[in-house]
Amino acid sequence: MLSLLDGTAALRRSAEIVHRELGADLAAGAHRIAEDDTMEVVAVVGGRTEALNGLVVGPQEGLGGQAAVLRRTAAVADYSLSRAITHDFDHAVRAEGLHAVMAAPIVRAHRLYGLLYAARRSAVAWTDADRTALLGLARQTAVAMEVADSAREMAEVAVFSERQRLAIRLHDSVGATLFSLRVALTSARAAADAQRGDMAELLTDALALTERATSELRSQTYSLHHAPEDKALAVALQGDCRDFSERTGVAAELVVLGDLPRLDAGRADVLRRIAREALLNVEKHAGAHSVVVSLYIHSDGVGMAVADDGTAGDITLQDERGMGLEVMAESVERVGGWLTCAGNDEGGGTVRAWVPAARAFRPVEP
């Protein structure tokens, strides 16, 4: 399941396992499509109609909406007769001839990814073993969907990072050539003007075309270099890791775990400056062979870890080798976050930081 790098594919594979392992007549997977925990059914196994495909389930609606909001497994022995749920989807359930239905939330680290359903066409109550099995499969599906989100996010970051590199190459090569051409044409036109020849008009036209090409190149390179707001931090950190590796010969990688919440420019800048300071400390003191910079969702904000496999031991915020980190700690606290430094059990050290997303409360430090 971990090899599946597509969320919908992971849901379908999980539905197939539920259909087979739980002896369900029908199994389905739904993914979260809105911040209010609205779900959409995207994978159905064992269906006789198309009634459930594409079904949108709002918070508290039906059995799935209840499981999503409560973050726990919900089950009924006879869906249409149950008084414990709303009956927004009775038409679809009846079209499939379903009675016993069970739904488990797909949750990992308090984040809801979707729902996993099991259903029977007979009114047979679900056992505790059934509930445990479905919940276990939902947890495995959450891991697969987290991996899929991370893979998609890293692919998007890689695209924008490469676009920035292309923009720089265009600026340095084609841009420089156009600038030289414009200078040459300007000089030639001045000489032609002095001789009052017809060549002056032709050179004026050529210069105008050069100006237009320069303006278009400037516009296109800016567009290529500019990353979307929600990708800007990751793209910048990937560039910092690349520069660090080229400068030091130490392997440095960026890992983005999931779709990160948006940060304002100030908080994103604080995280980037912390990462740069941590990388600088690794370069100066760690004697490391590799370093990994991670971005991840944590407590209504964005967490970052810079971990190395060096041998320099702990660097604390008060350590004279890490004076820059002490300054960074003050900066991150001013925006409502925190910063810690600690040694790793297997060697090396890790700098961790957290900043809140919009209107998030500061969590307890780990």
Express each pLDDT in 311-334 by its tens digit: 765 565 555 544 577 888 888 999
Rounded Cα gap, residues 12 and 107, in angstroms: 17
Q: Is it the case that residue 100 has pLDDT exceeding 80?
A: yes
Per-domain residue ranges for the chain? 7-147, 153-225, 229-356
Average pLDDT, the chain: 83
For residue 261, what is the DSSP state?
P
Nearest to 101 by CA among 115, 114, 110, 113: 115
pLDDT at 360: 45
What's the pTM value of the predicted model, to 2 decimals? Answer: 0.55
Q: Is it the case that residue 170 has pLDDT exceeding 50?
A: yes
Between 203 and 81, name the one with better pLDDT: 81
331 alpha carbon, distance to own chain's centre = 25
Other CB atoms closer than 10 Å to residue 350's CB: what's the count? Answer: 19
Segment 198-218, tens digit of pLDDT: 676 666 767 777 777 777 777
Tokens linked to 318: 């008060």
Rounded Cα gap, residues 103 and 38, in angstroms: 14
- CATH class of this structure's domain 229-356: alpha beta
pLDDT at 1: 38
pLDDT at 16: 94
Segment 9-43, tens digit of pLDDT: 889 999 999 999 998 999 999 999 988 899 999 99
Instruction: Give the percent of the chain with pLDDT over 90.
Output: 45
Q: Are 28 and 45 in contact (CB under 8 A)?
A: yes
pLDDT at 225: 59
Segment 264-296, tens digit of pLDDT: 889 999 999 999 999 998 888 878 888 999 898
Cα-Cα end-to-end distance for the chain: 30
pLDDT at 247: 92
Tokens linked to 148: 């899929």
For residue 22, what is the DSSP state?
S
pLDDT at 232: 83
199, 202, 207, 213 alpha-carbon torsion, rounded to 10°: -150
pLDDT at 215: 75
Between 181 and 5, name the one with better pLDDT: 181
Q: Is it the case that residue 4 has pLDDT exceeding 70?
A: no
**Predicted confidence band at 358 (pLDDT cuts at 50, 70, 90)?**
low
Rounded Cα gap, residues 233 and 157, in angstroms: 9
Rounded Cα gap, residues 30 and 24, in angstroms: 17
CATH number of 7-147: 3.30.450.40
What does the radius of gyration of the chain's CA atoms come to, in whole angstroms? 28
Q: Are 32 and 112 in contact (CB under 8 A)?
A: yes
pLDDT at 66: 94
pLDDT at 326: 80
Count the helices and strands in the chain (H runs, E runs): 9, 11
309: left (phi over 0), alpha (psi -120 to 50) or beta: alpha
pLDDT at 155: 67
